[in-house]
A = this chain, B = another copy of it.
Amino acid sequence: MTISIALLGAGRIGKVHAQAISRDPNAKLCAVTDAFPDAANAVAEQYGCPVRTIEEIISNDTIDAVVICTPTNTHADLIEAFARVGKKIFCEKPIDLDLKRVKSCLQVVKDTGAQLMLGFNRRFDPHFAGIKHEIDRGTLGSLEQATIISRDPGLPPYEYIDVSGGIFRDMMIHDFDMARFLLGEEFTSVQATASVLVDPKVADHNDYDTASVLLTTRGGQQCTITNSRRASYGYDQRIEVFGSLGMCAAENQRPVSIEVATSDGYLRPPLHDFFMTRYTDAYAAEIAAFVAAIADQTVPQPSGQDGLQALILAEAALKSLREGRAVDPAEIG
């Protein structure tokens, strides 16, 4: 069985998914759409599929699924539209930056019985998935603490910051999802701190560039998350989970694994400098999981609900920051 997939949005991340779809032996890119005709045409030409309007894709019964890579503010509407016609949906995170909108969208998903998978790509990174595998097979015993360090190579453009929802909703949301995914528990306490240390102009854009959060589950498990928008040495993406029997850590990744020893010491090259090269394998595995879930008629993970929970943690972190206290996510919304 080959799954027919239409691509909605042919920008940077859309192209990544187009390539992943084209290389998946069980999937076929059958249509592409984008507000910018040039972008759509480029993908259409490269992968040999037609450009279609969203309406055409909605009404085309031969299309099994859509991959939504359009701007964030269109996600919820598109999810609802495709949920109503019974298409399988993969949507880049977030569903929306507004919690109410996310909830109403997920209500539609629920009412229509649609299958929605959310694009938390890091769950599919082979190294992070390796940690999960060790957790699941019991190597670490009962889990007690997690440490997540996530630093971008550099600050995004100010225009991006303006529409991003801020560091907690845009960047740390990946780490919130990972914390939930790995510990397998919901958090009942969120304590946050955040600063502008990288670039003072970030404050003018009502955001932070440096943030840390302390999460606690009802059972007392603890997780620290450390974020910075800039790391001189590349894309710093580390996770470790500690339990009664041991600890598992994922190492940082670099494009070239050599070490040069001179009188200065032993030098290894910097890390990846871009999320797309760092997470190439993760993006491919993510689409493969979406395709496999459709083929096997199982529920794709992570779900819309996972997206909602991560967003609630981001809101709780913001509330903790404003009120200088530990916030229970149950207070949110």
Contacts and interface: CB of A to CB of B under 8 A. Distances in A.
Interface of A: 23, 25, 46, 126-127, 129-131, 134, 139-142, 144-145, 147, 149, 151, 189, 191-193, 195-198, 210-214, 216, 219-222, 224, 226, 228, 230-233, 236, 242, 244-251, 253, 255-270, 324-326
Nearest to A248: B260
Given A195-B222, A210-B144, A250-B257, A245 B262 contact: yes
A267 B248 CA distance: 9
Contacts of A25: 46
A269 B258 contact: no
Contact of A193 (B193, B222, B232): B222
Nearest to A151: B242
B231 A260 contact: no
A251 B266 CA distance: 13
B196 A214 contact: no
Given A149-B147, A216-B193, A324-B325, A264 B267 contact: yes
Contacts of A147: 147, 149, 224, 226
Contacts of A145: 210, 212, 226, 228
A152 B9 CA distance: 45
A242 B226 CA distance: 11
B256 A127 contact: yes
Contacts of A236: 247
A194 to B, nearest CB: 8
A38 B325 CA distance: 53
In order of increasing CB-CB distance, the 8 nearest A-B pairs are A195-B220, A246-B262, A233-B261, A325-B325, A130-B256, A191-B191, A224-B224, A130-B258
Contacts of A255: 126
